Chain A
Amino acid sequence: AQSVSQHNHHVILSEAASLELGCNYSYGGTVNLFWYVQYPGQHLQLLLKYFSGDPLVKGIKGFEAEFIKSKFSFNLRKPSVQWSDTAEYFCAVIPFNTGGFKTIFGAGTRLFVKA
């Protein structure tokens, strides 16, 4: 079945540690890719997006992600996390072969950063 997979459900890091969250998708053809963040008790906000061009995209708050087409992956990274990065992170895909209008979300990764 077509899906979006996030490799880690829970991640615990200490402040200043580096972060990498894995995301793979199984849709063929053109896709738009996103990472969203949901801080405790809040709505989802866009961290970064990839539509085309440079496969290394930079987002807000020091986050970046790399699109590797051959691996169907879009991993999220941050060199040094802060306590305020504690949140739920969602990888998301809009596959063009379904006509759009449907963002498919991964199951989310809960990140807890220890102060």
Chain B
Amino acid sequence: DTAVSQTPKYLVTQMGNDKSIKCEQNLGHDTMYWYKQDSKKFLKIMFSYNNKELIINETVPNRFSPKSPDKAHLNLHINSLELGDSAVYFCASSQGGVGEAFFGQGTRLTVV
């Protein structure tokens, strides 16, 4: 019974396309996140949502648009994909904004 699940696991697409990644958590947490992990394994926060409200937008290009339809879901839509968007994207959740995060399995996005 996966706590934080994201789909798809792999995504290969051409430059200029638009794609979405979905995330769901069944932990009852009120806070969800998107992180980007680059090829050197460096993890950087992109967005934080608390009770469906955007709390943190870490200077991410506006081609990236998160959407939280409810507390259990946080989706990420990316417009006009660029080569530099290739990375592993992790969804995570926590209870409140200062607790441990539970991570999904990651989505490996490759833009060709």
- A interface with B by C-beta (< 8 Å): 32, 34, 38, 42-46, 49, 88, 90, 94, 96, 99-105, 107-108, 110
The answer on a CB contact under 8 Å between B43 and A105 is: yes
B106 and chain A: residue at smallest CB distance: A43
Judge whether B97 and A99 touch: CB under 8 Å: yes
Which of A46, A88, A107, A108 sits near B100, CB closer than 8 Å? A46
Give chain A residues whose Cβ lies under 8 Å from the Cβ of B45. Answer: 102-104
Asked if B60 is at the interface of the complex by the 8 Å CB criterion, the answer is no
Give the residue name and chain of the B residue nearest to A44 (CB).
Answer: B103
- Asked if B111 is at the interface (CB within 8 A of a chain A CB), the reply is no
Q: State the interface size on chain B (CB cutoff 8 A).
A: 26
Interface residues of B in 52-97 (CB under 8 A from A): 55-56, 58, 90, 92, 96-97
B26 to chain A, nearest CB (A): 15
Please list the residues of chain B having a beta carbon within 8 angstroms of any beta carbon in chain A: 31, 33, 40-45, 48, 50, 55-56, 58, 90, 92, 96-106
Residues of A within 8 A of B105 (CB): 42-43
Chain B contacts for A99, CB-based, 8 A: 55, 97
Judge whether B40 and A100 touch: CB under 8 Å.
Answer: no
In the bound complex, what is the Cα–Cα distance between A90 and B31 (angstroms)? 21
Q: Which residues of A contact B33 (CB under 8 A)?
A: 103
Tell me which of B40, B42, B56, B99 contacts A102 (CB under 8 A).
B56
Q: 6 A-B contacts, Cβ less than 8 Å apart?
A: A43-B105, A100-B98, A101-B48, A103-B33, A103-B45, A105-B43
Residue of B with least CB distance to A103? B101
Minimum CB distance partner of A98 in chain B: B56
CB distance from A13 to the nearest CB of B (A): 19
Q: In the complex, are the beta carbons of B43 and A90 less than 8 A apart?
A: yes
Given contacts A101-B31, A101-B56, contact A49 B42 (CB under 8 A): no
* Among A45, A46, A94, A103: residue with most chain B CB under 10 A: A103
For the complex, give the distance between the alpha carbons of A107 and B42 in Å: 5
Please judge, given known A-B contacts A42-B105, A43-B106, whether A100 and B97 are in contact too, CB under 8 Å.
yes
Complex partner residue of B42 from A96, A105, A110, CB under 8 angstroms: A105
CA separation between A102 and B48, bound complex, in Å?
7
